[in-house]
């Protein structure tokens, strides 16, 4: 018995069929991709990644970089135990090594080198550790570097981190290959994420406020009528990184003067969102988990 049913087309053949009418611009291409998803030719996750690939060509390093105040760095003057503590507490795999200040980048230290050295069975390996023997050259890029070009260079040169500098040559921040890939595959969002269009400070109830970690200290001081210092850091996230002494996880809190800061959202590289409330005045910072 013959089967008159036409053979099913492969996923690739369906896409080719969909593109019989060549799109004339990016908007038409996006519309075609959305129609493809609506007709179940591609799944929503694949559509999101396709749009992400297109989106990174419109972004620059400055758009996604970890700002200078939030960079976790190794000071070349640190002793071995302090370096090891920074590596373990942050959970990062690569660290800029600085000299006199954050504009003086000596190179990049890989956590695996430090951890491997510390695990050696030879007697007193710490006393033989020479930081300069383990430094990798730092990749320096301008703030205006396009992300699609940067991703191509990351892959070609097998680099995973770049230091971003401003027009005057000062360090503005850093960007990793993971940061770029997140623009394509996305990151897990939760109920605490704040839309980019909202204000940096948002009152959610009496004596409860959501505050973005990137809020500038001057803006924060003006809103809450306080006097946090902006001499060393520009953002609230920078101040909290110093106060905690490590990369805090969600749920950790610290009290500075009469303000309680609770970490609402953070990843392994940066603090994102805080919850602020007023408490009785205290002269010293108190950390709790």
pLDDT at residue 56, as a whole number: 83
Query: Virtual CA dihedral for 238, 240, 243, 244, nearest 10 degrees?
Result: -120
Residues 118 and 51 occupy one common structural domain: no
**pLDDT < 50 stretches in the chain:** 1-2, 5-6, 188-193, 195-197, 282-287, 289
Gap between the Cα atoms of 182 and 267, Å rounded: 12
pLDDT at residue 198, as a whole number: 60
Residues 257 and 247 occupy one common structural domain: yes
Residues pairing with 95 in the sheet:
109
Max Cα distance, the chain (Å): 89
Residues 161 and 250 occupy one common structural domain: no
User: What is the number of domains present in the chain?
Assistant: 3
Domain holding 134, by residue range, is 62-185
Tens-place pLDDT, residues 23-45: 667 777 777 777 777 777 777 77
Tens-place pLDDT, residues 76-102: 998 888 888 888 777 788 999 999 888
Residues 95 and 167 occupy one common structural domain: yes
pLDDT at residue 109, as a whole number: 94
Gap between the Cα atoms of 64 and 103, Å rounded: 19
Judge if pTM exceeds 0.75: no
pLDDT at residue 32, as a whole number: 77
Q: At what angle do helices 111-118 and 80-90 cross, to 10 degrees?
A: 120
8 A C-beta contact, residue 33 and residue 15:
no
Indicate which CATH number applies to the domain containing 144.
3.10.580.10
Which two structure tokens, joined as six digits, stand for 237? 């996230």
Indicate which CATH number applies to the domain containing 252.
3.30.465.10
Which two structure tokens, joined as six digits, stand for 113? 């080198």
Gap between the Cα atoms of 38 and 220, Å rounded: 44
């Amino acid at each position: 018995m013959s089967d008159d049913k036409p053979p099913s087309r492969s996923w690739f053949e369906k896409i080719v069929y969909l593109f019989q009418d060549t799109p004339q611009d990016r908007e038409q291409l996006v519309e075609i991709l959305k129609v493809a998803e609506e007709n179940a030719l591609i799944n929503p996750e694949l559509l999101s990644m396709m749009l992400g690939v297109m989106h990174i060509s419109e972004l620059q390093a400055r758009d996604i970089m970890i700002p200078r105040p939030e960079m976790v760095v190794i000071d070349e003057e640190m002793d071995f135990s302090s370096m090891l503590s920074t590596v373990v507490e942050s959970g990062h795999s690569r660290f800029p090594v600085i000299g006199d200040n954050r504009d003086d980048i000596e190179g990049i230290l890989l956590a695996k080198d430090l951890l491997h050295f510390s695990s050696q069975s030879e007697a007193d390996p710490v006393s033989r550790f020479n930081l300069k023997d383990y430094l990798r050259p730092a990749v320096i890029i301008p703030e205006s570097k396009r992300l699609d070009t940067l991703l191509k260079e990351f892959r070609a040169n097998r680099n995973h981190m770049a230091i971003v500098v401003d027009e005057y040559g000062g360090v503005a921040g850093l960007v990793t290959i993971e940061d770029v890939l997140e623009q394509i595959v996305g990151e897990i969002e939760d109920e605490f994420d704040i839309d980019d269009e909202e204000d940096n400070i948002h009152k959610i109830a009496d004596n409860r406020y959501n505050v973005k970690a990137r809020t500038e200290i001057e803006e924060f001081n003006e809103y809450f009528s306080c006097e946090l210092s902006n001499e060393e850091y520009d953002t609230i996230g920078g101040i909290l990184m110093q106060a905690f002494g490590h990369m805090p996880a969600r749920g950790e809190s610290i009290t500075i003067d009469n303000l309680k800061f609770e970490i609402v959202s953070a990843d392994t590289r940066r603090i994102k969102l805080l919850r602020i409330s007023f408490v009785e005045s205290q002269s010293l910072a108190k950390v709790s988990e």
